[in-house]
Structure 1
């Protein structure tokens, strides 16, 4: 659970490094919550008989969650790039249509540099050197 919440604790911390587990568990949590809220909205529409759009009560929580998660999402992605000794400006690749997201996805899958780099010490510490 601490890996999922760590990006929220380091809300706007764009310095340092983050390992793959922190990034991917945060991403899984982020998309899981979005899918769950959308599924609840869809189910409430299928079960409800009201005149208003069924998803309306779910739009506000969904929007608040996305807004609250936007900065931590960018920050953990930048720290993940730092773990590979790449500049955070590589995040801008995601704005290139079609290929940018694929390139960033591949970069998020690649392991970080072993030992310290210009962005800080290895987030895996000594255990990463032994078991990594």
Structure 2
């Protein structure tokens, strides 16, 4: 199913991905996170003991964090394949570097400012550190926003028609999601091989089924042909002599 194809191709950075594969996976994640946020809101609105409410909220947010961590690899993998679909390499992911650096710099600035207060720094030094660090982080954040906007537009563009340098066209029904340079994909040939191996492991053969009792030729087998005898009919009715004895006359007939 195309909704779960990025999960099946979890760490597959090879090949291509269509717009529907990329955006349906994004919509699926949006519904999942919306469900978790709704559960957290319901838990906080319950008239229960505060300890139970806190426990429910912690469980929901724990699921959210685990989901984010688990989906980092497939999100980047399907993004790379989406770029491949339009003939662009993974180098375009460099547009996300300013956003990452901005977040790291903001966290580092706040941690440094708090540490300076603990060491007895003055208020002016604290404000100067915060303003300088957050200002630099803000400039990187603006650059990162522009880079993410460019990536967003690239994911909306149609892919290359036909095969390109990164693999076959994913919109072509005649193409399979095979192993493009070592990708982890399943196709019909591999499934057939797995079924054949399972049959051999269970002692099953590929010979056609044969019934235990044979009630005559089946519809695919020709009926035996009755060949005409060359002996005269009188020879069939004459009893055979045994040990040189003259056969007895036939019952009901007079001897001539």
Question: How does the TM-score come out when normalised to structure 1?
Answer: 0.88
CA-to-aligned-CA distance 1:55-112 (integer Å, 9 cap, x gap): 2121221112112211001000000000010001212213332111111111110010
Give the match for residue 167 of structure 2. 120
Name the CA distance, whole Å, in 1 between partners of 2:47 and 2:15: 48
Partner of 2:194: none
Larger RCO (CA under 8 A, 6+ residues apart): 1
Q: In 1, distance between residues paired with 2:169 and 2:156?
A: 17
Is 1:17–1:82's contact at 8 Å kept on the other side of the alignment?
yes
Secondary structure of 2:2 counterpart: helix
Larger gyration radius, structure 1 or structure 2: 2
2:43 alignment partner in structure 1: 44
Aligned to 2:28: 29
1:14 and 2:16 are equivalent in the alignment: no
Flag as ranges the 4+ runs of structure 1 deviating above 6 A: none
CA contact (8 A) 1:85 1:117 kept: yes
Distance 1:32 1:126 in 2: 29
RMSD: 1.5
Q: Secondary structure at the match of 2:158?
A: coil
Give 5+ residue unaligned stretches, structure 1.
128-132
Distance in structure 2 (CA, Å) of the matches to 1:48 and 1:91 = 47
Whole-angstrom distance in 2 between the partners of 1:90 and 1:66: 22
Check the 8 A contact 1:95/1:101 in 2, yes or no.
no
TM-score by length of 2: 0.47
Change (3 A) 1:51 1:23: same
Name the residue aligned to 1:70.
Answer: 72
Number of positions where the alignment pairs a residue of Structure 1 with one of Structure 2: 126
Q: Report the secondary structure of 1:118's partner residue.
A: coil
Matched residue, 1:89: 91
Tell me the secondary structure at the aligned position of residue 49 of structure 1.
coil
Q: How does 1:49-60 map to 2 (within 5 A)?
A: 49-52=48-51, 53=54, 55-60=57-62
Measured in 1, the distance between the counterparts of 2:85 and 2:33 equals: 27
- 1:130 aligns with none
Deviation at 1:43, TM superposition (A): 1.4
